[in-house]
Structure 1
Amino acid sequence: MNDYTEAEVQRALAEDLGIAEQGISVVRAGAGLVLCGEVESPHRRDEIVRLVHERFPGIEITADIGVTRAAAPTEAEELA
């Protein structure tokens, strides 16, 4: 891992045609990297982690990527 690894990972996420993700932050943490952000599904989170592992083997990756609710609510919201 070098001084530009975070930027290289960020660019790989944005430029990959299957991912095209710009909402994930990449932060150095010790000898590895932490991916932070929100995505719309667990599948998308898994694809992001897979891409980073494939393109940057040997770097420890921690995924702190949450999944936002993308579906419409199933109940009415009560306003007071």
Structure 2
Amino acid sequence: MTARTAAPVPGGTAYAASPTIAAPPFGRWGQLVIGVICMVMIANLQYGWTFFVPDIQKKFELHHAFSSEAGASGAGASAAGASS
């Protein structure tokens, strides 16, 4: 069994260079800034949603269906087998 090697590339280099990966258009700091802006926008939506939850619960007679308590304790408790 013989080992195979890459063929030399004409022009003086021994092997073909690996393709270069381009940097993001805005760089690291641009990605960070865009990420923070997106997180702030989502946080504002979540905060605004809390104003509608009591009215939705009253209208449809739901109890903790849209609250954070149902997501935190209800989902964890049901996954663990306990009832809330």
TM-score, structure 2 as length reference? 0.22
Choose between structure 1 and 2 for higher RCO, CA contacts under 8 A separated by at least 6 residues.
1
Q: Relative to total residues, which structure has the larger helix share, 1 or 2? A: 2
Structure number with bigger Rg: 2
Structure number having the greater strand percentage: 1
TM-score (norm 1): 0.23
